[in-house]
């Protein structure tokens, strides 16, 4: 069985999508439709902008979504997945690919998500940190102890065994880094991000996005999606909708999702979109499965 997986924020690169636009009328049409939906020419920034330009909140998330979804449309037209998953933002790409969401609706939600997250980040100083070399139970316990003392810190991304990202207030993250190093973490590094994604500090964004998600039509998908919040196959449109609402404040259970996909029969994972981060994580989770990536029209 074949699983399609889609990257999240951080996978962007300068010039992304330009080859698609120039070589495919289908891609050009979708990109121009995106410019109209967003109300600005995101293509100008994607194709000609600098790395700093691409880091703008209103640009980064829609850009990665567009690159993944349009690339999928061009490269896998006759290749249907048996299951899909996306890492954080990538879940929206996965839901368009499995037909649970229309392209226009998916892009609109991604744009609203990006702006809502940025507003939430501005409410309180917060950040994230990558923790390497510790088991998840130790990290969960430390986070719970710090949070019970009044600072906010939670596991945010279970990326692979031994690689977990935590998220929270500046005070909570600083304290967690100190304690986790004492517990034997190989590395504990603050990330250069704008806020505490996938934590309770994203609650204002969750509330704002919930209304938009509830007002969006979700359809029966062509294959199950393994959603971040639950790490299991989901096909019911109402359940997909609820899990997507939960996603902003719930952890990304990537390790558990991949393990469940393999248990359910996934033999090959195809990462579609910019970068190859997910292929690397999947190999750390299970070296026996096949992985490959589609990043441009020249790679299949």
| Residue intervals in the chain for CATH 3.40.366.10 | 2-121+200-294
pLDDT in tens, 192-240: 887 899 999 999 999 999 999 999 999 999 999 999 999 999 999 999 9
- pLDDT-derived band of residue 300, with 50, 70 and 90 as boundaries? very low
Q: Is the pLDDT of residue 299 over 60?
A: no
Query: Rounded CA gap, 197 and 214, in Å?
Result: 21
Whether the predicted pLDDT of 76 surpasses 80: no
Catalytic residue among 67, 87, 88, 160: 88
198 is known as an active-site residue:
yes
The percent of residues above 70 in pLDDT, for the chain, comes to 99
* pLDDT band of 33, cuts 50, 70, 90: very high
Look at residue 3 in the predicted model and tell me its pLDDT.
97
Q: How far is Cα 96 from Cα 104, in angstroms, rounded to an integer? A: 9
Mean pLDDT, to the nearest integer, of 41-57? 92
Q: Is the CATH code 3.30.465.10 the one for domain 126-190? A: no
> What's the average model confidence in pLDDT over 175-194?
91
pTM above 0.85, yes or no: yes
Residue with tokens 């029209």: 297
Q: What is the pLDDT of residue 110?
A: 97
Give the pLDDT of residue 296. 83
Catalytic residue among 160, 198, 199, 256: 198
Distance separating alpha carbons of residues 219 and 293, to the nearest angstrom: 27
Average of per-residue pLDDT across 258-266: 98
Nearest-angstrom CA–CA distance, 193 and 197: 9
How far apart are the C-alpha atoms of 67 and 61, rounded to whole Å?
10
Query: Boundaries of CATH 3.30.70.250 in the chain?
Result: 126-190
pLDDT tens-digit readout, 123-141? 888 999 999 999 999 999 9
| pLDDT value of position 195 | 87
More confident residue, 111 or 121: 111
* Distance between first and last Cα of the chain: 17
Q: How far is CA 5 from the centre of its chain?
A: 10
Q: 2-121+200-294 in CATH: which number?
A: 3.40.366.10
Our answer to whether residue 88 is catalytic in this structure is yes
**For the chain, what percent of residues have pLDDT higher than 90?**
86
What value does the mean pLDDT take over residues 113-121? Answer: 92
pLDDT for 208: 94
Given strand 83-86, what is the order of strands in its sheet? 233-234, 225-226, 83-86, 2-6, 268-272, 290-294
The predicted pLDDT at position 26 comes to 94
């Amino acid at each position: 069985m074949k699983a399609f997986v889609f990257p999240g924020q951080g996978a962007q690169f300068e010039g992304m999508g330009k080859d698609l636009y120039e070589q495919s009328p289908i891609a050009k049409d979708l990109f121009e439709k995106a410019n109209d939906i967003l109300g600005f020419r995101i293509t100008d920034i994607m194709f000609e902008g600098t790395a700093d330009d691409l880091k703008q909140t209103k640009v980064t998330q829609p850009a990665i979504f567009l690159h993944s979804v349009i690339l999928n449309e061009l490269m896998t037209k006759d290749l249907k997945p048996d299951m899909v998953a996306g890492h954080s933002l990538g879940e929206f790409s996965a839901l368009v690919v499995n037909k649970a969401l229309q392209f226009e609706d998916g892009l609109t939600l991604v744009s609203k998500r990006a702006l809502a997250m940025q507003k939430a980040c501005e409410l309180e100083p917060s950040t994230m940190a990558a923790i390497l070399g510790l088991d998840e139970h130790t990290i969960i316990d430390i986070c719970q102890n710090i949070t019970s003392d009044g600072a906010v810190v939670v596991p945010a991304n279970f990326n692979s065994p031994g690689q977990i990202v935590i998220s929270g207030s500046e005070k909570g993250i600083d304290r967690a880094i100190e304690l986790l190093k004492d517990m034997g973490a190989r590395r504990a590094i603050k990330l250069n991000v704008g806020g505490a994604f996938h934590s309770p500090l994203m609650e204002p964004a969750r509330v704002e996005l919930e209304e938009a998600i509830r007002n969006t039509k979700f359809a029966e998908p062509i294959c199950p999606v393994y959603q971040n919040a639950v790490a299991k196959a989901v096909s019911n449109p109402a359940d997909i909708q609820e899990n997507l609402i939960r996603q902003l404040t719930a952890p990304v259970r990537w390790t558990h999702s991949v393990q469940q996909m393999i248990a359910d029969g996934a033999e090959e994972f195809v990462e579609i979109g910019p970068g190859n981060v997910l292929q690397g994580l999947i190999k750390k989770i299970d070296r026996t499965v096949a992985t490959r990536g589609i990043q441009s029209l020249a790679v299949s």
